[in-house]
Amino acid sequence: MARFGDRRYGPMTELVLGGRSSDEQFGFVNPPVVHGSTVLWSTVADFKAARGRYTYGRRGTPTSEALSDALKQLEGGQHVALAPSGVSAVSLALMTALKSGDHLLMVDTVYEPTRRFCDGMLRRMGVETSYYDASVGAHVSDLMRPNTKAVFVESPGSLTFEVQDVPAIAGAAHARGAAVIMDNTWATPLFFKAHDHGVDLAVSAGTKYLGGHADLMMGWVSANAAHAAALRTTHGALGLCCGPDDMFLALRGLRTLGVRLAHHQAAGLRVARWLQSRPEVARVMHPGLESDPGHALWKRDFTGASGLFAIELEPGSEAALAAFLDELELFGLGYSWGGFESLAIPFDARPMRTASKWAPQGPTVRLHIGLEDVEDLVADLDAGLARYGAVG
Ligand SMILES: *Cc1c(COP(=O)(O)O)cnc(C)c1O
């Protein structure tokens, strides 16, 4: 099998082929895992001209190239830069697009550590951030200032799952010369083609579905043609690189991303629909549900849903919430998501919202639906909600 160049296959085929090249793999199916810093030259002339495909481990290895090539194919962009975590990919994208004196428009429903980076580091570097309501759409142009150089979107929003009108926002931002950055972790580039919807710099936490097995920290940024050079330069200046074994795990995860996501989607929707029928549940926040306020936009722009969503319970005590969550047998209580296992965490988004209203009546819980049998997960939640109702 040769490199497949410009030929376009279906997305599942691309996941299987991406980053592979039989010429350089000694016939093995998978690319080699290269542990390396120094690259040797044979003459001073070659050294001085920095001749050759590789020059130094930090700047790229056959392993990092295989992974970034495969991700580039999946994203449909011009360049992919790998980062050691999702948060480092977010900061890489922001530093690629912004400089001292610039203004950033940030969605209010953004992942909380991104907010912290803006209010801390970016502020210290002379970039001002203001937050906007996720439902803003094309009206984002009313919020733009002469020095607004980037608009950041995350759709659906972290914890509360509001869907944004990304094409409308991108149109308004581009009309005034601002770049559009998106955190696309929830959908992955398989279910949302960020560049096709006007995003210039698309960020993903590979820690989630790319890794898929709760054993990896990784992130990446994909740039379109207009931002590829700036991304390369910023990535190089920051000295970001990933460990070869982690990149190997990410490549391995990529091969099964499609089948895993299809299962997470179907199982997540089944559990979400079942939860809607429960008297203890006031609201299910999942854009794939017809009743969700973001459903029409999701249906228009996305080709699928992942296994992460949230519920608002009917009012109940802290003790009732603990009774629900503490005794769950299959849902673990922990950060991150996108692995093969189901998770449930309570959250309070109120302190994280400054430009929009978030006022649930009861406790809120984020669920990740893993690869277990759906019947087992439903039985676990069924018993948990009964405990919630009993304690009250
Ligand atoms: C988890 C997450 C990140 C950060 O990824 P890490 O690898 O944990 O740093 C960024 N954005 C979103 C939406 C996430 O869920």
Is 208 known to be catalytic? yes
Find the mean pLDDT for residues 183-205. Answer: 98
Whether the model clears a pTM of 0.95, i.e. scores above it, the answer is yes
Query: 368: CA distance to ligand 1 center in Å?
Result: 14
Q: What is the distance between the alpha carbons of residues 129 and 139, in angstroms, rounded to a whole number? A: 17
The answer to whether residue 77 scores a pLDDT higher than 60 is yes
Is 215 known to be catalytic? no
Question: Which residue has its alpha carbon closest to ligand 1 atom 5?
Answer: 86
**CB of 183 sitting under 6 A from ligand 1:** yes
| Residue 4 CB partners (closer than 8 Å, separation 6+) | 17
The answer to whether residue 104 scores a pLDDT higher than 60 is yes
**CB of 87 sitting under 6 A from ligand 1:** yes
Catalytic residue among 3, 8, 51, 58: 58
Mean pLDDT over each residue of the chain, to the nearest integer = 96
| Residue 299 CB partners (closer than 8 Å, separation 6+) | none
**CB of 158 sitting under 6 A from ligand 1:** yes
The answer to whether residue 113 scores a pLDDT higher than 80 is yes
The answer to whether residue 1 scores a pLDDT higher than 50 is no
Question: Which residue has its alpha carbon closest to ligand 1 atom 10?
Answer: 86
Ligand 1 pocket test, pick from 106, 118, 208, 217 with the greatest ligand atom count within 8 Å of Cβ, gives: 208
Query: 215: CA distance to ligand 1 center in Å?
Result: 14
Ligand 1 pocket test, pick from 87, 160, 217, 347 with the greatest ligand atom count within 8 Å of Cβ, gives: 87
Return the closest-CA partner of residue 33 out of 44, 25, 21.
25
Half-sphere exposure (CA, 13 Å, Cβ side) for 322? 3
Q: What's the confidence (pLDDT) of residue 34?
A: 96
**CB of 111 sitting under 6 A from ligand 1:** yes
Q: Is-contact 81 242, C-beta < 8 A?
A: no
The answer to whether residue 191 scores a pLDDT higher than 90 is yes
What's the per-residue H, E or C state across the chain? CCCCCCCCCCHHHHHHHCCCCHHHCCCCCCCCCCCCCECCCCCHHHHHHCCCCCCEHHHCCHHHHHHHHHHHHHHCCCEEEEECCHHHHHHHHHHHHCCCCCEEEEECCCCHHHHHHHHHHHHHCCCEEEEECCCCHHHHHHHCCCCEEEEEEECCCCCCCCCCCHHHHHHHHHHCCCEEEEECCCCHHHHCCCHHHCCCEEEEECCCCCCCCCCCCCEEEEECHHHHHHHHHHHHHHCCCCCHHHHHHHHHHHHHHHHHHHHHHHHHHHHHHHHHCCCCEEEEECCCCCCCCCHHHHHHHCCCCCCEEEEEECCCCHHHHHHHHHCCCCCECCCCCCCCCCEEEEECCHHHCCCCCCCCCCCEEEEECCCCCHHHHHHHHHHHHHHHHHHC
Domains and CATH numbers, the chain: 59-255 (3.40.640.10), 257-391 (3.90.1150.10)
Find the mean pLDDT for residues 165-188. Answer: 98
Question: Which residue has its alpha carbon closest to ligand 1 atom 3?
Answer: 86
Q: What's the confidence (pLDDT) of residue 5?
A: 54
Q: What atom of ligand 1 comes closest to residue 186's alpha carbon?
A: 13
Question: Which residue has its alpha carbon closest to ligand 1 atom 15?
Answer: 185
Catalytic residue among 72, 115, 208, 255: 208
Quick one: pLDDT band at residue 23, thresholds 50, 70, 90? confident
**CB of 156 sitting under 6 A from ligand 1:** no
**CB of 207 sitting under 6 A from ligand 1:** yes
Is 111 known to be catalytic? yes
Residue percentage of the chain with pLDDT more than 90: 95
Q: What's the confidence (pLDDT) of residue 247?
A: 98
Q: What is the distance between the alpha carbons of residues 182 and 185, in angstroms, rounded to a whole number? A: 9
Q: What's the confidence (pLDDT) of residue 2?
A: 38
Query: 309: CA distance to ligand 1 center in Å?
Result: 15
The answer to whether residue 289 scores a pLDDT higher than 80 is yes
Half-sphere exposure (CA, 13 Å, Cβ side) for 286? 32
Query: 201: CA distance to ligand 1 center in Å?
Result: 16
Is 58 known to be catalytic? yes
Quick one: pLDDT band at residue 89, thresholds 50, 70, 90? very high
**CB of 73 sitting under 6 A from ligand 1:** no
Residue percentage of the chain with pLDDT more than 70: 98
The answer to whether residue 22 scores a pLDDT higher than 90 is no
Find the mean pLDDT for residues 94-107. Answer: 98
Catalytic residue among 111, 132, 209, 388: 111
The answer to whether residue 7 scores a pLDDT higher than 80 is no
**CB of 211 sitting under 6 A from ligand 1:** no
Query: 9: CA distance to ligand 1 center in Å?
Result: 29
